[in-house]
């Protein structure tokens, strides 16, 4: 069983104990962000940013009052993204602006609409049953397969697929009319 198949609290406990497999998994998660083309981090700086991400992750989870709000992977990604943004701020890179880059940045009106849509989505997700919220988080945010989720929850994989179908149907309804429950 690989480390991403464990419960979040189990992964956190294993990371705190310094178990090699879990620490390597956390390092891979940090590398996912650091190597992303989105930040353009030079290969020569990857190791430093990963190391800083691991250090800050360790500091946070070592705090006796620390509680994991989402998943260890989400925490590592958030910290790695912050380190990449800091890296970008420290650099004064001068390159030509690519035309396709401008298309990726929405105008202020589009950005506001997107922010409002995200707020509506968060409200709709909050209205779903806990199983629906968990399924959506595990499958879409943590990118876990239905097989992994089935093994961890003791549920049938096909049953989880049906649940997800119904959860997404309810979410679409909540996003459109605001009057469905799942």
Q: pLDDT, tens digit, for every residue of 57-100?
A: 888 777 777 776 777 788 888 888 888 888 777 776 555 556 66
pTM for the full predicted model: 0.46
pLDDT at position 169 is 92
Segments of the chain assigned E as strands: none
58 near 76, Cβ under 8 Å? no
CB 39 within 8 A of CB 45: no
């Amino acid at each position: 069983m690989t480390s991403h198949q464990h419960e979040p609290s189990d992964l956190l406990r294993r990371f705190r104990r310094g178990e090699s497999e879990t620490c390597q998994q956390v390092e891979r998660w940090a590398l996912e962000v650091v190597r992303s083309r989105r930040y353009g981090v030079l290969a020569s700086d990857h190791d430093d940013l990963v190391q800083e991400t691991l250090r800050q992750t360790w500091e946070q989870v070592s705090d006796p009052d620390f509680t994991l709000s989402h998943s260890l992977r989400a925490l590592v990604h958030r910290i790695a993204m912050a380190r990449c943004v800091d890296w970008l701020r420290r650099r004064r890179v001068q390159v030509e602006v690519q035309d396709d880059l401008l298309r990726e940045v929405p105008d202020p009106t589009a950005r506001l609409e997107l922010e409002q849509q995200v707020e509506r989505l968060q409200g709709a997700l909050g209205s779903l049953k806990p199983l629906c919220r968990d399924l959506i988080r595990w499958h879409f945010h943590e990118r876990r397969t239905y097989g992994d989720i089935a093994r961890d929850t003791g549920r049938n994989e096909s049953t989880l697929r049906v649940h997800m179908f119904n959860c997404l149907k309810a979410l679409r309804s909540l996003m459109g009319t605001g009057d469905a429950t799942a």
